[in-house]
């Protein structure tokens, strides 16, 4: 039986400021570092071998994974993939969420933030935030770099990466750890849990709380649960 452990990075400094972060490469907050360490401690209690680890190009996810591996005395060898990056929030990048909601109205705000296939306007080429993107992004083919994304767009890069790179290791009964982001993990969960386009807006992924997904030999999901039950969110399944 293989296990897939999905962990959203700990709270970032922009999470704490309630800003749309997207591809901006911000650090973990002090709380986020503690959440990452706690994630590592919870995973350690599972007493299983972590065979392969993946993370995005963004340092808040990389730092979270690093802290988890250190807590488990695992060598800092992992795979980075831009396909696991957070959703690109386009022109919303850097804006305060509450102020934005007041400015554009709650209905439009919800469409941009939680709809399946509505993307915000593209980020402007002169945006100050472009210089704050991860330098690792320079390795992404230019034609694949978005100026904004919907969750559907995010899904269209996350799921093919899962199918090509991660699934084959699960088939071989490997335990996989992924440290990524709220929306890249929502996209993957949509696929794994067969969540409809309509219901996906209800799925929340808490920071720093590992989600365990256990598969049988045919990669059917047998169990799924958060390690910290006090901060668990509802897992939507086949809806």
Tokens of 227: 């390690």
Q: Please answer whether residues 53 and 176 qualify as being in contact, where contact means their C-beta atoms are separated by less than 8 angstroms.
A: yes
Q: What is the pLDDT of residues 51-88, one digit of tens each?
A: 999 999 999 999 999 999 999 999 999 999 999 999 99
* Beta carbons within 8 Å of 227's beta carbon, 6+ residues apart: 39, 42, 43, 45, 46, 209, 210, 211, 212
- What distance in Å separates the CA atoms of residue 141 and residue 171, rounded to the nearest whole number? 29
User: What does the pLDDT read at residue 237?
Assistant: 76
Tokens of 196: 């409809």
- The number of angstroms, rounded, from the C-alpha of 26 to the middle of its chain's C-alpha atoms is 14
User: What does the pLDDT read at residue 13?
Assistant: 97
Q: Which helix (H) or strand (E) holds 62?
A: helix 59-71
User: What does the pLDDT read at residue 2?
Assistant: 94
What is the set of active-site residues? 9, 86
Share of the chain above pLDDT 90, in %: 94
Q: Please answer whether residues 94 and 85 qualify as being in contact, where contact means their C-beta atoms are separated by less than 8 angstroms.
A: no
Q: What is the pLDDT of residues 195-231, one digit of tens each?
A: 999 999 999 999 999 999 999 989 999 999 999 988 8
Q: Where residue 232 falls among pLDDT bands split at 50, 70, 90?
A: confident
Residue 217 vs residues 50, 155, 160, 222: alpha-carbon distances, Å: 18, 25, 21, 10
What are the chain's domains? 12-33+49-63+76-149 (3.40.50.1240), 204-239 (no CATH)
Torsion, CA 124, CA 126, CA 132, CA 138, rounded to 10: 80
Count of CB atoms within 10 A of residue 104's CB?
15
The pTM of this model reads 0.95
Q: What is the pLDDT of residues 12-37, one digit of tens each?
A: 999 999 999 999 999 999 999 999 99
How does DSSP assign 171-205, residue by residue? Answer: HTT--EEEEE-HHHHHHHHHHHTT--TTGGGG---
Q: What is the pLDDT of residues 111-150, one digit of tens each?
A: 999 899 999 999 999 999 999 999 999 999 999 999 999 9
Please check the confidence at residue 239 and state whether its pLDDT lies above 90: no
Q: What is the pLDDT of residues 140-187, one digit of tens each?
A: 999 999 999 999 999 999 999 999 999 999 999 999 999 999 999 999
* Beta carbons within 8 Å of 31's beta carbon, 6+ residues apart: 10, 11, 16
Residue 170 vs residues 127, 173, 180, 231: alpha-carbon distances, Å: 41, 5, 18, 27
């Amino acid at each position: 039986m293989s296990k897939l452990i999905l962990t959203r990075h700990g709270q970032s400094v922009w999470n704490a400021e309630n800003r749309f972060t997207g591809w901006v490469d911000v650090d973990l907050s002090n709380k986020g570092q503690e959440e990452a360490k706690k994630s590592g401690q919870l995973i350690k209690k599972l007493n299983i071998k972590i065979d392969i680890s993946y993370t995005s190009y963004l340092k808040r996810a990389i730092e979270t994974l690093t802290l988890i591996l250190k807590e488990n005395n695992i060598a800092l060898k992992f795979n980075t993939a831009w396909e696991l990056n957070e959703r690109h929030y386009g022109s919303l990048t850097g804006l305060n969420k509450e102020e934005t909601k007041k400015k554009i109205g709650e209905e439009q705000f919800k469409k941009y933030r939680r709809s399946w296939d509505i993307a915000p306007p593209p980020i402007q080429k002169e945006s100050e935030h472009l210089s704050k993107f991860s330098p690792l992004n320079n390795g992404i083919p230019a034609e694949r770099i978005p100026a904004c994304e919907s969750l559907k767009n995010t899904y269209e890069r996350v799921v093919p990466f899962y199918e090509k790179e991660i699934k084959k290791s699960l088939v071989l009964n490997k335990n996989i750890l992924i440290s990524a982001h709220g929306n890249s993990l929502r996209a993957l969960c949509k696929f794994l849990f067969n969540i409809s386009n309509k219901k996906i807006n209800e799925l929340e992924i808490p920071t720093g709380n590992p989600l365990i997904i256990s598969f049988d030999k045919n990669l059917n999901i047998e169990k799924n649960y958060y390690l910290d039950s006090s901060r668990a969110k509802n897992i939507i399944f086949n809806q």
